Homo-oligomer: A and B are copies of this chain.
Amino acid sequence: MSQKPTLSRRTFLTAASLAGLAAAQAMLQPLQAQTPDAPTVPEDPTKVPGAPPSAYGQRSSFEQAQRLAGSSSSLTPLQDLHGIVTPASLHFERHHNGVPLIDPARHRLLIHGLVERPMIFTMDELKRFPAVSRLAFIECSGNSAGEWHEPGGQTAQQTQGLISSSEWTGVLLAIVLREVGMKPDATWMLAEGADAAAMTRSIPLAPALEEALLCYAQNGEALRPEQGYPLRLLIPGWEGNVCIKWLRRLKLGAAPFMTREETSHYTDLMPNGTARQFTLVMEAKSVITSPSGGQQIRPGFVEIRGLAWSGRGRVTQVEVSTDGGETWRKAQLQKPVLAKCHTRFRFPWRWNGQEAILQSRCADETGYVQPSRQALVAVRGLHSIYHNNAIQSWKVSRDGAVHNVHV
């Protein structure tokens, strides 16, 4: 079915960006050539019987969205995603000594300390408890760490890619702790992973008991290895670092345990030289994912798309500015809008070919409004690495190229 020149074609949606696809394809060819069994695309797919059903599907070889992987973390390609669910294969990673290989049949969870009945649970035992599922984001508190001083990353993946949302399933921490019996003086909990870092964090019990989950499933199937297989702690809305992966031990105590990861790291050095500690909740934040850094747009209709989230509850509003914050207009929020989960926002825009600065700012149900970079720095200073939830600015040049800027 080739194009018929007699048919009219859309005018405001031109085919110019096919050149971009063609370029991507050109880059793909050498890779495919190296693969011995690279598939040959038929000229007319209706003339060739297709492939049979399969036991476990894979994505198309034409799709190349990938995590940007460093030595201890990888970033989600936010600019390539749709909707609010992050595919497990593209969920960001942050490890402190790699992804351990764990046999679920041999994995155990020990709960001890200030409890009436110390217990060890198998995975099978944990799965027999009443289950809960919920869609929730996990964000590394170091997300956007490179954006404090100067524009750091080029793309949304590089500037904000340490966040993802999944549907998580597990048993409520509160239910399991009821089994072991919390002693009255238990106010903190140490959570420990079975990775080579034996990662540990202290968690205040009272707020964690409200929603914390011991998770064994993600987006319908078993938790992925890089997300803590076979068991991870999830505290919706809190920094990813306390959502201990490969969870093997919970110890209840009467005070924080002051582990390495909450003393030398994961604290916020303030202008007066003191450090904020246990800043666990991830404040409201948003980012425009399209158009975003590294992308190229054409004059005419452009839907501005992005993600917003808040560790304190539901996102209630997202505003978009196309003039660097001079004026703001409300974006449309895609339903369902879920607490402590990605919210997809959209805003119709017509680009006139002139320079533009695109920004989004969100508010949550507590009334909190995402701050500008200047407002955040005025309070927090520039010594901090973590908890940068400032408004992100993307500059559109006259040639349609989009770049990360500070305004």
Which residues does A use to contact B, with CB under 8 Å? 1, 3-4, 7-10, 13-15, 17-18, 21-22, 24-25, 39-42, 45-60, 62-63, 65-74, 80-91, 93, 95, 97-106, 108, 110, 112, 117-122, 124-125, 128-133, 135, 167-169, 179, 194-196, 198, 216-217, 219-222, 224-226, 229-230, 246, 248-249, 301-303, 305, 334, 336, 338, 344, 346, 348
Contact = CB atoms under 8 A, between A and B. Distances in A.
Contact of A82 (B50, B99, B221, B229): B221
Given A46-B194, A56-B89, A338-B336, A119 B221 contact: no
A1 B111 CA distance: 12
Given A45-B195, A89-B57, A22 B224 contact: no
A94 B17 CA distance: 33
A7 B117 CA distance: 8
A98 B51 contact: yes
30 contacts: A1-B108, A1-B110, A4-B120, A7-B110, A8-B117, A8-B118, A8-B119, A13-B121, A41-B102, A45-B194, A45-B246, A46-B195, A47-B196, A49-B98, A50-B99, A50-B196, A53-B71, A53-B74, A54-B93, A54-B226, A55-B66, A58-B224, A59-B88, A63-B221, A65-B222, A80-B221, A85-B167, A87-B220, A90-B221, A133-B344
A195 B46 CA distance: 5
The 4 closest A-B pairs by CB, nearest first: A50-B98, A83-B133, A82-B217, A45-B100
Contacts of A22: 105
Contacts of A90: 56-57, 220-221
A220 B81 contact: yes
Given A3-B108, A41-B106, 19 more contacts: A1-B194, A13-B129, A21-B104, A22-B105, A45-B101, A50-B97, A56-B66, A57-B90, A58-B224, A58-B225, A59-B221, A60-B222, A60-B225, A62-B104, A82-B216, A83-B217, A85-B220, A86-B220, A128-B302
A21 B229 CA distance: 16
A157 to B, nearest CB: 12
A270 B182 CA distance: 62
Contact of A103 (B47, B62, B89): B62
A29 to B, nearest CB: 11
A82 B39 contact: no
A50 B220 contact: no
Nearest to A248: B1
B52 A105 contact: no
A304 to B, nearest CB: 10
B13 A128 contact: yes
A133 B102 contact: no
Contacts of A124: 15, 17-18, 21
A53 B372 CA distance: 32
A154 B52 CA distance: 23
B41 A103 contact: yes
Contact of A105 (B18, B53, B80, B95): B18
Nearest to A72: B53
Contact of A67 (B53, B58, B224, B305): B53
Contacts of A24: 105
A171 B230 CA distance: 37
Contacts of A230: 60, 62
A229 B60 CA distance: 8
Contacts of A71: 52-53
A128 B303 CA distance: 7
Contacts of A57: 67, 88-91, 93, 224-226
Nearest to A103: B41
A102 B45 contact: yes
A122 to B, nearest CB: 5
